[in-house]
Amino acid sequence: MEQKLALCFPLPPFAEATKSQSSPQCMETIQIKTKCVLYARKSTEDDDKQVMSIEAQLFELREYARRERIEILKEFTEAKSAKKPGR
């Protein structure tokens, strides 16, 4: 059975310190921002057996990241068959 694999790998969050201009004491606020890399894989050369194309997988992952306000650093794709040795 062929499977699709599309993942969003979250990376450790980092803190951004910003000075608040509205506060008389200019207190610093910390914002945590999540970053990730995307990975989409086509597991077969037969298009009729593949559930989602790489582009469709990336579209879904990009939409998820947008909804969750996750910054995408890089996208990785792979098109390999598990049946071939040395993949």
Task: Identify each DSSP E strand in the chain by its residue range.
Answer: 5-19, 28-42, 71-79
Global confidence as pTM: 0.57
pLDDT band at 70 (very low <50, low <70, confident <90, very high): very high
Q: What per-residue confidence (pLDDT) applies to 3?
A: 47
Mean pLDDT of 48-57: 82
Indicate whether 54 pLDDT > 70. Answer: yes
Mean pLDDT value across the chain = 74
Question: Which of the pair, 24 or 28, is modelled with greater confidence?
Answer: 28
Indicate whether 41 pLDDT > 70. Answer: yes
Question: For residue 35, what are the contacts with CB-CB under 8 A and spacing of at least 6?
Answer: 10, 11, 13, 14, 70, 71, 72, 73
Q: What per-residue confidence (pLDDT) applies to 80?
A: 75
β-strand partners of 34: none
With beta carbons less than 8 A apart as the criterion, state whether 79 and 41 touch.
Answer: yes
